[in-house]
Structure 1
Amino acid sequence: MGVCGYLFLPWKCLVVVSLRLLFLVPTGVPVRSGDATFPKAMDNVTVRQGESATLRCTIDNRVTRVAWLNRSTILYAGNDKWCLDPRVVLLSNTQTQYSIEIQNVDVYDEGPYTCSVQTDNHPKTSRVHLIVQVSPKIVEISSDISINEGNNISLTCIATGRPEPTVTWRHISPKDPPYISEAKGTGVPVGQKGTLQCEASAVPSAEFQWYKDDKRLVEGKKGVKVENRPFLSKLIFFNVSEHDYGNYTCVASNKLGHTNASITLFELNEPTSSTLLQEVKTTALTPWKGPGAVSEVNNGTSRRAGCIWLLPLLVLHLLLKF
């Protein structure tokens, strides 16, 4: 049933029959748009389910009576509503246009609508066809299933919609979207060369971008270089300063998606000669508390002998430093 597909009361049926005779609008009369320049209805009207459809009919001042019909049901006659459906409203009834609106359109509203006019005792009609589209919706799909390699399997996907939707299948491998496989922070002393490394697995290959504090790092920044390969990106600092320390974000992306990881460049304190000397002195002056240990008070000679054999070790540390 279409718009206003309701049963009329017996007394109203007589009025409807009289109105049909008045307009001489027999059910199922084919449209003949060339009979007159008016009334001129729109061509096909296409709307989506749930939207509003506007049906317009162009007329002129010679028209004395107008009406909109859905198949054999009268929706409006002039300004009078004959339809019980609250979704159908009159938009305009002027000397040039007669239009109605069907709100919250559903699929059962689809079909022909007729604009009928009376002029100089000659009834004329024009027809418009309402087409209702429904967004595709998957109503049934196979659940997850495990199967042994080499066996056959059947997957089901049922979808509805108007026009009839086309169903396509695509295999998404777990490694198709990008994912970062390795991203580790590193410590570098001030003034030294440092490298942050980001590895990503993706098909197609990922493109890399580096950020610090939401600001993208571009190639050519003084003292910083970005080296990109299909699955690897390096952020190289040639002379690390205090300003370079902090958190960096590596973003890997391709047409299937993107992912990111946070990598920290932190300060690494380099041992100095004074630190090494202090370590050696501490080792030399600390008495051995194991079995057979010699007391500092009773055996000062043994303590001095221990310092003498540690002297080459101190010299070796200094040579490695400088």
Structure 2
Amino acid sequence: EGFSSQNDSYLDIYGITRDQAGEYECSAENDVSVPDVKKVKVTVNFAPTIQELKSSGVVLGGNGLIRCEGAGVPAPVFEWYRGERKLISGQQGITIKNYSTRSLLTVTNVTEEHFGNYTCVAANKLGMTNASLPLNRKTPWEVSKGCPELQPSTACPWLHAGRWGELRGRAMESFDEDSSHWDRQSRALRYS
């Protein structure tokens, strides 16, 4: 679809889409010599799109991460905003790392002022787009390094498939013990 050719000497691509980008091969042959093959790379330029925007929750004093995944040709240039203010890497605990298809915004030593909406802007010569996401406060549970337990805790069990395991956790003192619960993949667990 979208292709036409006259006498196989050239190829027209009508209404080209980004899915049609890539390498095309033309071969010519006769009974006298070996086939002659030439390859052409077709690049389809398009305005940026933001495909995914993700944020990790964060506790006060912790580190927060917001990831912005985008696409565009030429590759988009990413910028971050908080409200109307453009964020600059290295200022106020903000680090920004840009790659060809994504941008990572890290907030270190989070304070109350860091919580709120952040906007990722992706732009190239064909256009611009943006998406916003809040940096939210995480529940006061922390996962310890290398061990599937919640801190503070008295045990560090290693869980293996098919074997019994135990996770222990304790909420901060401001939480009522009866109001705590366990979730897995955002679903409340049923106890047996």
Q: TM-score, normalised by structure 2?
A: 0.54
Determine the C-alpha separation between the residues in 1 that align with 2:55 and 2:84: 18
The corresponding residue for 1:313 is none
2:79 to 199, 205, 209: 209
The corresponding residue for 1:259 is 129
Structure (1/2) with the larger helix percentage: 1
Q: Is contact 2:62-2:108 (8 Å) kept?
A: yes
1:176 to 46, 56, 70: 46
The corresponding residue for 1:221 is 91
Count, aligned residues: 121
Determine the C-alpha separation between the residues in 1 that align with 2:69 and 2:88: 19
Residues 275 and 170 of structure 1: CA distance in aligned 2, closer, same or farther (over 3 Å): closer
User: Which amino acid letter does the alignment assign opposite residue 239 of structure 1?
Assistant: N
* Structure 2 spans left out of the alignment, 5+ residues: 7-13, 20-44, 142-150, 153-169, 182-191
Q: Is contact 1:252-1:258 (8 Å) kept?
A: yes
The corresponding residue for 1:275 is 171
The corresponding residue for 2:111 is 241
The corresponding residue for 2:25 is none
Give the secondary structure class of the aligned counterpart of 2:171: helix
Give the secondary structure class of the aligned counterpart of 1:182: strand
Q: Could you tell me the percent identity over the aligned residues?
A: 34
Structure (1/2) with the larger strand percentage: 2
Determine the C-alpha separation between the residues in 1 that align with 2:92 and 2:136: 19
Cα deviations by residue, 1:82-135 (Å, 9 ceiling, x for unpaired): xxxxxxxxxxxxxxxxxxxxxxxxxxxxxxxxxxxxxxxxxxxxxxxxxxxxxx
Residues 228 and 276 of structure 1: CA distance in aligned 2, closer, same or farther (over 3 Å): closer
Deviation at 1:150, TM superposition (A): 5.1
Cα RMSD over matched residues? Answer: 3.3
Determine the C-alpha separation between the residues in 2 that align with 1:186 and 1:255: 31
User: Which amino acid letter does the alignment assign opposite residue 259 of structure 1?
Assistant: T
* Structure 1 spans left out of the alignment, 5+ residues: 1-147, 154-168, 284-289, 291-322
Determine the C-alpha separation between the residues in 1 that align with 2:171 and 2:65: 27
Cα deviations by residue, 1:44-63 (Å, 9 ceiling, x for unpaired): xxxxxxxxxxxxxxxxxxxx
Larger radius of gyration between Structure 1 and Structure 2: 1
Deviation at 1:211, TM superposition (A): 0.3
Q: Is contact 2:140-2:171 (8 Å) kept?
A: no
Matched ranges for 1:1-322 at <5 A: 148=1, 151-152=4-5, 173=18, 176-271=46-141, 275=171, 279=177
Determine the C-alpha separation between the residues in 1 that align with 2:85 and 2:114: 13
Determine the C-alpha separation between the residues in 1 that align with 2:68 and 2:128: 14
Determine the C-alpha separation between the residues in 1 that align with 2:78 and 2:2: 36
Deviation at 1:231, TM superposition (A): 0.9
Cα deviations by residue, 1:276-305 (Å, 9 ceiling, x for unpaired): 89648x99xxxxxx9xxxxxxxxxxxxxxx
